[in-house]
Protein backbone atom coordinates (compact mmCIF):
# COMPACT_ATOMS: atom_id res chain seq x y z
CA UNK A 1 0.00 0.00 0.00
CA UNK A 2 1.14 3.52 -0.74
CA UNK A 3 2.44 5.48 2.22
CA UNK A 4 3.17 9.09 3.03
CA UNK A 5 6.30 10.29 1.27
CA UNK A 6 8.55 12.98 2.66
CA UNK A 7 11.54 14.61 1.08
CA UNK A 8 14.30 15.11 1.72
CA UNK A 9 14.91 12.51 4.41
CA UNK A 10 17.87 14.41 5.79
CA UNK A 11 18.76 18.07 5.53
CA UNK A 12 21.63 20.06 6.94
CA UNK A 13 21.40 23.83 7.01
CA UNK A 14 23.26 26.67 8.65
CA UNK A 15 21.77 29.24 10.98
CA UNK A 16 19.73 31.92 9.24
CA UNK A 17 19.29 29.81 6.11
CA UNK A 18 15.95 28.65 4.74
CA UNK A 19 14.64 25.12 4.25
CA UNK A 20 11.69 23.60 2.41
CA UNK A 21 10.28 20.23 3.39
CA UNK A 22 7.88 18.35 1.14
CA UNK A 23 5.13 15.90 1.92
CA UNK A 24 3.12 13.70 -0.45
CA UNK A 25 0.05 12.23 1.26
CA UNK A 26 -1.46 8.84 0.66
CA UNK A 27 -3.58 8.94 -2.54
CA UNK A 28 -7.14 10.18 -1.89
CA UNK A 29 -6.23 11.56 1.52
CA UNK A 30 -7.43 15.13 1.77
CA UNK A 31 -5.80 16.30 5.01
CA UNK A 32 -2.15 16.87 5.80
CA UNK A 33 -0.61 17.53 9.20
CA UNK A 34 2.87 18.67 10.17
CA UNK A 35 4.54 17.75 13.46
CA UNK A 36 7.90 18.60 14.98
CA UNK A 37 9.72 16.13 17.20
CA UNK A 38 12.74 17.43 19.08
CA UNK A 39 15.40 15.03 20.38
CA UNK A 40 13.86 12.73 22.96
CA UNK A 41 10.57 14.62 22.81
CA UNK A 42 7.01 13.84 21.80
CA UNK A 43 5.76 15.13 18.45
CA UNK A 44 4.26 18.60 18.61
CA UNK A 45 1.56 19.63 16.18
CA UNK A 46 2.48 22.54 13.91
CA UNK A 47 -0.22 23.02 11.30
CA UNK A 48 -2.74 21.17 9.17
CA UNK A 49 -4.52 21.58 5.85
CA UNK A 50 -7.80 20.24 4.59
CA UNK A 51 -8.69 20.51 0.91
CA UNK A 52 -5.85 22.98 0.40
CA UNK A 53 -7.02 25.35 3.13
CA UNK A 54 -5.37 25.75 6.51
CA UNK A 55 -7.58 23.94 8.99
CA UNK A 56 -5.76 24.12 12.29
CA UNK A 57 -2.70 25.80 13.71
CA UNK A 58 -0.54 24.67 16.58
CA UNK A 59 2.82 25.78 17.85
CA UNK A 60 4.23 26.84 14.51
CA UNK A 61 6.73 29.72 14.70
CA UNK A 62 6.07 32.83 12.63
CA UNK A 63 9.27 32.06 10.72
CA UNK A 64 7.59 28.95 9.31
CA UNK A 65 4.86 28.82 6.70
CA UNK A 66 3.15 26.00 4.90
CA UNK A 67 0.67 25.33 2.15
CA UNK A 68 -1.13 22.52 0.43
CA UNK A 69 -1.18 22.43 -3.34
CA UNK A 70 -3.80 21.37 -5.87
CA UNK A 71 -2.33 17.86 -6.02
CA UNK A 72 -2.63 17.72 -2.20
CA UNK A 73 1.08 17.65 -1.56
CA UNK A 74 2.25 20.07 1.11
CA UNK A 75 5.38 22.08 1.73
CA UNK A 76 6.72 23.45 5.00
CA UNK A 77 8.90 26.51 4.49
CA UNK A 78 11.27 27.46 7.27
CA UNK A 79 13.22 30.70 7.27
CA UNK A 80 15.87 32.26 9.50
CA UNK A 81 16.71 28.84 10.86
CA UNK A 82 17.85 28.56 14.44
CA UNK A 83 19.78 25.82 16.21
CA UNK A 84 16.60 24.94 18.10
CA UNK A 85 14.85 24.08 14.85
CA UNK A 86 16.94 20.91 14.63
CA UNK A 87 14.37 18.16 14.87
CA UNK A 88 12.55 15.41 13.07
CA UNK A 89 9.64 16.82 11.06
CA UNK A 90 6.79 14.47 10.38
CA UNK A 91 4.03 14.78 7.90
CA UNK A 92 0.85 12.76 8.36
CA UNK A 93 -2.22 12.39 6.19
CA UNK A 94 -5.77 11.29 6.76
CA UNK A 95 -9.11 11.24 5.03
CA UNK A 96 -12.20 12.89 6.45
CA UNK A 97 -15.19 10.67 5.96
CA UNK A 98 -18.29 10.40 8.07
CA UNK A 99 -17.78 7.97 10.92
CA UNK A 100 -14.03 7.79 10.46
CA UNK A 101 -11.70 8.12 13.39
CA UNK A 102 -9.60 10.30 11.08
CA UNK A 103 -6.60 8.19 11.91
CA UNK A 104 -3.39 9.72 10.74
CA UNK A 105 -0.72 7.89 8.79
CA UNK A 106 2.77 9.23 9.29
CA UNK A 107 5.61 9.57 6.88
CA UNK A 108 9.18 8.57 7.76
CA UNK A 109 10.10 12.14 8.65
CA UNK A 110 12.71 14.65 7.57
CA UNK A 111 15.62 15.05 9.94
CA UNK A 112 16.70 18.68 9.89
CA UNK A 113 20.03 19.62 11.43
CA UNK A 114 20.88 23.29 11.82
CA UNK A 115 24.55 24.05 12.42
Partner 1 sequence: GDSVTQMEGPVTLSEEACLTINCTYTATGYPSLFWYVQYPGEGLQLLLKATKADDKGSNKGFEATYRKETTSFHLEKGSVQVSDSAVYFCALRASGAGSYQLTFGKGTKLSVIP
Rounded least distance, CB 69 to partner 1, Å = 20
Write b or e for each residue in 1-38: b if 16 or more Cβ atoms lie within 10 A of its Cβ, otherwise e.
eeebbbeeeebebeeeeebebbbbbbeebbbbbbbbee
Per rule CB under 8 A, is residue 61 in the interface with partner 1?
no
Per rule CB under 8 A, is residue 109 in the interface with partner 1?
yes
Tell me the sheet residues that pair with 13.
Answer: 114
Per rule CB under 8 A, is residue 68 in the interface with partner 1?
no
Q: Which residues bind partner 1 (CB under 8 A)?
A: 31, 33, 35, 41-45, 48, 50, 55-56, 58, 90, 92, 94, 96, 101-109
Amino acid sequence: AAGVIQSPRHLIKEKRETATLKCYPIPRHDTVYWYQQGPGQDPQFLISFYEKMQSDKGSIPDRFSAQQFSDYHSELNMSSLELGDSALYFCASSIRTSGSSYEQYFGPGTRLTVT
